[in-house]
Chain A
């Protein structure tokens, strides 16, 4: 992989990576740090990295860095056992995007990540499994649960555009 290809990866994927991380950590500074750290790690391995693998490598690296940081910060909510993982809301929403964003935030981290990788980046189940460290069946189950939760959340909202 050349430096030109590396810089092209910056143009192509930095926004996607930042968006993916920001949606999870919900902190712009931390998200930027993780993106920068990820690209530095890619640069270190530039000599043995094919440009076709760069995107997956970056998402994998960023995801793992994010998880490590969440654990360090002790801010990773165990949403599966949390009250957040319930359809409860007491406010009105102006549009579907806002509803979805709210619902997305209530998802467990693993479900949120897999569905974002699926919808935002168009990764296959196998690729998602490689990034988040799950097998294909687990990814399918998480996506199914996530969609069902989102559907129920949307359906339960009083005002949906």
Chain B
């Protein structure tokens, strides 16, 4: 390859680095003789060397080196701490102890490190441990708090339910029923009884039976139950004392029905008294009023509990009802029944039988 204006730089560089042979050198000199304008550039290719490499030094070279002996004065602290911590393997541990043995000047260092091991001060104790302990082993705390909150909610709802019932009862005449189940019962009971529009006719008494559903938005329905003056109403079920009082003090029943309040059962009847008594037994939320004159026990504990369950049922949109059953021979309660929809849970009291 001959020298030209396109490759002369490579020849210049090789010449200065001593890589050109005699023939190439003669050729390069001839080229420069013919091109004197390149002579200055040729001379500028003087070899350049960096001569300051000896001036800049890394001072920490020794610290980077790995010692042929694992333990030395530079890493003594690390070995000592690992020795105290118990994290040295057997080989390193032996090397470390051997180093200390060969260099007794470091024995004190090791002794000081050994003193840094803390020991618990057993005189410091938590004196009130018994206060921390829990007695109820079965009930998780979360459930306990939720139960407490639910109980409070039930009490509040039941209170307002009772208060509303009390207000409603004061404005109604006749039999007020707050239970859908009883509603059906009464409907069935009166379906064969002639319904009239006029409250009072000759020889007849029409007693309004008002059915008020628990859903207050539903309009109350009033049934007029006709009773013949000659018909002898009877009670076909044992009467609770309160029921007796209701019936006996009911001026409508007494005045027009000639009610014979007696446990003796002669024949089944759909008399108004029967409806009233059955209603009283079936639903503890029933309240009998007649012309606002009949005293009724409105806020018994059982009624309170019943309302609470009904409130729960209304929250979950399911009919919940609590009933109690009486002995056939006395006024004693023999069983309680909780109904949730079609499911019933009966609790029979001891020492009682149907």
CB pair A18–B125 under 8 Å, yes or no, is yes
CB pair A14–B132 under 8 Å, yes or no, is yes
Q: Say yes or no for A85: interface residue by CB 8 A criterion.
A: no
Residues of B within 8 A of A160 (CB): 115
CB pair B140–A14 under 8 Å, yes or no, is no
Contact of A32 among B84, B126, B135 (CB under 8 A): B126
Contact of B118 among A10, A11, A18, A120 (CB under 8 A): A120
Q: Say yes or no for B133: interface residue by CB 8 A criterion.
A: yes
* Known contacts A3-B137, A11-B129, A44-B142; is-contact A154 B78 (Cβ 8 Å): no
Residues of B within 8 A of A132 (CB): none
Tell me the count of chain B residues lying within 8 A, CB to CB, of chain A: 34
> For residues 101 through 138 of chain B, which have their beta carbon under 8 Å from a beta carbon of chain A?
108-109, 112-113, 115-122, 124-126, 128-129, 131-138
Residues of A within 8 A of B231 (CB): none
Q: What is the number of contacts between chain A and chain B, taking CB atoms within 8 Å?
A: 91
* Known contacts A43-B134, A116-B118; is-contact A32 B128 (Cβ 8 Å): yes
CB pair B141–A120 under 8 Å, yes or no, is no
Q: How far is the CA of A15 from the CA of B108 in the complex (A)?
A: 34
CB pair A147–B124 under 8 Å, yes or no, is no
Residues of B within 8 A of A4 (CB): 137
Most-contacted residue by chain A among B118, B131, B137, B138 (CB, 10 A): B118
Report the minimal beta-carbon distance from B134 to chain A, rounded to whole angstroms. 5
> For residues 51 through 79 of chain A, which have their beta carbon under 8 Å from a beta carbon of chain B?
none
Q: How far is the CA of A6 from the CA of B131 in the complex (A)?
A: 13
Q: Say yes or no for A89: interface residue by CB 8 A criterion.
A: no
CB pair B141–A39 under 8 Å, yes or no, is no
CB pair A16–B120 under 8 Å, yes or no, is yes
Q: Say yes or no for B41: interface residue by CB 8 A criterion.
A: no
Q: Say yes or no for B85: interface residue by CB 8 A criterion.
A: yes
Q: Say yes or no for A90: interface residue by CB 8 A criterion.
A: no
CB pair B134–A147 under 8 Å, yes or no, is no
Q: How far is the CA of A120 from the CA of B78 in the complex (A)?
A: 21
Report the minimal beta-carbon distance from B328 to chain A, rounded to whole angstroms. 47
CB pair B126–A18 under 8 Å, yes or no, is yes
Report the minimal beta-carbon distance from B292 to chain A, rounded to whole angstroms. 53
CB pair A151–B126 under 8 Å, yes or no, is no
CB pair A19–B124 under 8 Å, yes or no, is yes
Residues of B within 8 A of A147 (CB): 81, 84, 113, 116
Interface residues of A (CB under 8 A from B): 2-4, 6-7, 10-11, 14-19, 22, 32, 35-36, 39, 43-44, 46-47, 96-97, 100, 104, 115-116, 118-120, 143-144, 146-148, 150-152, 154-155, 160
**Can you report 20 A-B residue pairs in the complex whose CB atoms are below 8 A from each other?**
A2-B137, A3-B135, A10-B132, A10-B133, A11-B129, A14-B132, A18-B126, A19-B120, A19-B124, A32-B128, A36-B131, A46-B141, A115-B118, A118-B85, A119-B120, A120-B118, A147-B84, A151-B112, A151-B116, A154-B115
- Given A3-B135, A43-B141, 13 more pairs with CB closer than 8 A: A3-B136, A7-B134, A35-B132, A43-B134, A47-B142, A97-B121, A100-B118, A120-B120, A147-B116, A150-B116, A151-B115, A154-B115, A155-B108
